Amino acid sequence: MIFFILLLIILIVFLWLDYFQYNFILFYFFNGVIMKMGYPCMNRSIGCSSSRSFRLKSYTLDRFIDTVHMNLNCLKKILEFNIDNNLLFFRITSDLIPFASHFICKCEWQTMFGDTFDHIGRFIRKYDMRISMHPDQFIVLNSSKDDVVKRSIKELEYHADVLDLLGLDVSHKIQLHVGGVYNDKEAGIHRFIKTYDRLPDKVRRRLVIENDEKSYSVMDCLLIYDVIDIPVLFDVFHHSLNPSTIKLKDALQSCFETWKDTDGLPMVDYSTQHQNKRFGSHTESIDKDDFLRFIKASSPHDFDIMLEIKDKEKSALLARDLLQNDPRFVR
C-alpha cells in the first residue's frame, strides 16, 4: 500500500512539472552530466536587441535607464526562447549596460536594476542554464600601456558584476584572449601574468583564456595556465588557423584538464572559416559535415559548446537537431 502511495505522489509531482523539466530531471538522473549548447549575444528571431546603446555625447541618466530597461527585457525574452528550444548555453552581450565602466556612468546601476537582475538570474538557475561573457578586442590585459590595462580591468569588473548580480556561481565564465604580441611573445605572456595578479578576486575566479587565430596558440595558453592556474577555453576554429604543434584530440584533452570541478564543464567555441571573407572571419551558417566531424572527434569528452556562427540561433537549432542521437547532449 505504501509503495502505491509513493508512486502516486511521484506521478503527481511529474504532472506539476512541465515537459522540459521532466526530461531534464530524467536525463540528469541517468547520465550525471548534461552538456549544453548555445550561441552568443543576440537572437535574430524575436525582434529585439539586448545590446542597444547610444552615442556618448547623447548620454543622459534618463536615456541610460530607458536603454538598460529595454536591454534587460530583451535578454529575458532571449533566454525564454532558448529554454523553449533547449539551447542551454548563452553568451550575454558586453553591451548590456551601456558605458557601465566609463567615468560618465556615475549612477549605481547595480542597485538600480538589482531586482531585475535577480529575476533573470532566478530564471537562469531554475533551468540550469550556462552563461558566459566575452569582452571585445579592446580589452587587453597584456598591453604595454598602463591606461589600457586600467580600462581593461575596469571593464572586466563590470562583466563580473553582471554575473554576480545574476546570482550565478563561478562556472559562469568571462572569456578573454591573451592579447597582443608586440614583437615579443614571451614578454607579452609575462605582462599578462603580472596583470592577472592585479585583478580583483571577483574577476579572477571567473576569468578563462582562449587560444586565438594568430597570436597565442593552445600551447601558449597552456604555458600561462602552468603559472597562474587559469582555465583554458578551446576554440576549434582558432586552433584550425593557429594549431601550433598539438593535434586536435591532444589539444582538447590538455585544455579540459585545466578546468576544476568548481569551474563547471569545460567550454568550447566552435565555428569555421567564411568562404568569401578575410582570414579568421566566422561563417554565416553552420557547416554540418565539419560540425559532425568535430563532435565525433571530441568523444568521449563532456563540454559545453558555443556556436560562434553569424546566423546565431538558426545554426544553433540546426546543430541541436544534428545532435539528437548524441547521448552527451540534452534533447
In a domain, 327, yes or no: no
Q: Are residues 137 and 3 both part of a single domain?
A: no
Q: Greatest CA separation found in the chain?
A: 77
Encode pLDDT of 117-146 as tens digits.
999 999 999 999 999 999 998 999 999 999
- 232: number of Cβ within 10 Å: 25
Encode pLDDT of 182-233 as tens digits.
999 999 999 999 999 999 999 999 999 999 999 999 999 999 999 999 999 9
| Euclidean distance between CA atoms 171 and 108, whole angstroms | 26
In a domain, 330, yes or no: no
Query: What is the total count of domains within the chain?
Result: 2
CATH number for the domain that contains residue 143: 3.20.20.150
Handedness of CA 106, 138, 176, 193 (dihedral sign): negative
Q: Are residues 185 and 57 both part of a single domain?
A: yes
- For the full predicted model, state whether its pTM sits above 0.85: yes
Q: Are residues 55 and 143 both part of a single domain?
A: yes
In a domain, 328, yes or no: no
Contacts of 116 (CB under 8 A, 6+ apart): 69, 72
Q: What share of the chain is helix, strand, coil (3-state, %, to 5)?
A: 50, 10, 40
Q: Are residues 142 and 8 both part of a single domain?
A: no
Contacts of 38 (CB under 8 A, 6+ apart): 82, 87, 88, 89, 90, 91, 130, 304, 305, 306, 307, 316
Cell of 330: 540534452
Q: Are residues 236 and 282 both part of a single domain?
A: yes
pLDDT value for 280 = 74
